[in-house]
Amino acid sequence: MTKTIGAAGFIGIAVEETSGTYQAPTKFFPIMSESLSWTQNTNWRRVIRGTTDVIGAVPGNGNVEGDIESELLTDVLPYMLLAARGTLTKDGVAAPFVYTFTPTHGALAPNTLSITIVRGEEAFGYVGCNVSSMTFGVDNDMATVSYSILGTAEQSVTPPATPTYGDDVPFGAGTWSIEIPTETQIFDADNFSLEINDNGEVQYRLKNVLGAQFIKFGERDVQLTLDRDFEDRDEYDIFKELTAQSVSVGLNESANNQVKFSVVAAIIDAYAVNLSSVGDLVRSSTTYVGTHGSGDGAYEVAITSAEDVTLPVAE
């Protein structure tokens, strides 16, 4: 038996040509952790037959679920957005390319991913995968992201050859621009979280193979939180008046490495400012809810990257 540690593992993804049919990875990227697994809903037989024990098991359906935690990388984000509920467009014939993601409102995402994870000496192939929710945040001034995945099935696959990785680097200190409202930069925030949750649900159907049939999306929740130095009542009064405003969070590392998140009509849901102790700064914590704006939805993501992503042809 060969023992290994996490450093030997890796992850790769591919946009599926046919949803649920495995494709070998075409894009590899570094991650901080992952928790993808096959969840099986076994029917345990506990019937009246002269025994108090379980007498056997009957297969129930199952699905793939879990999270992928990583640095926020612009050469990876477009691929993940292709499997989220929205539309990704691409501008430019040479690097840098500009990708724009706008949310849509149907029951399905336009594409699915095959996600390959090598753990130890074994490879796991997760198919029919969608990004159900995304949480963008910050860790020691570095931008991070957590992708919550739902998929239809898992299979044993041949481990890919040695992966190759892109040259994009994470966003760190000195690359942030937070604007409230958009076009007015603030300099007093030190914590940020943007959660986009499309409330994916696994859908089973009666068929001749195990696994989910597809992933259905439901109501969308968009929530942005910021911690700031408290200097005046301006945002507090906006909170009391339920005034909508555009909030943007931009990151700029180079001409080929940028991303901007825009919550187009953010309304403050909670605003807290308190005295915590004698020596602490007076801070505020603000939670915004993204509402449907004048465009396509509650938010937009714009990405500038040297990565040349081939967008699937719409059917």
Q: Which two tokens stand for residue 279?
A: 């020596």
Read off the pLDDT of residues 228-268 as tens digits, 9 standing for 90 and up.
999 999 999 999 999 999 999 999 999 999 999 999 999 99
Measured in whole angstroms, how far is the alpha carbon of residue 129 from the centre of its chain?
12
The sign of the dihedral angle between the CA atoms of 180, 135, 214, 42 is negative
Read off the pLDDT of residues 53-80 as tens digits, 9 standing for 90 and up.
999 999 999 999 999 999 999 999 999 9
Read off the pLDDT of residues 151-182 as tens digits, 9 standing for 90 and up.
999 999 998 888 999 988 999 999 999 999 99
The proportion of the chain whose per-residue pLDDT surpasses 90, expressed as a percent, equals 92
What distance in Å separates the CA atoms of residue 218 and residue 201, rounded to the nearest whole number? 8
Q: Which two tokens stand for residue 26?
A: 């075409």
- What DSSP string runs through 48-87? SSS-SS--EEE---EEEEEEEEEE--TTTHHHHHHTSSEE
Q: Where are the domains of the chain?
A: 6-39+59-157+169-305
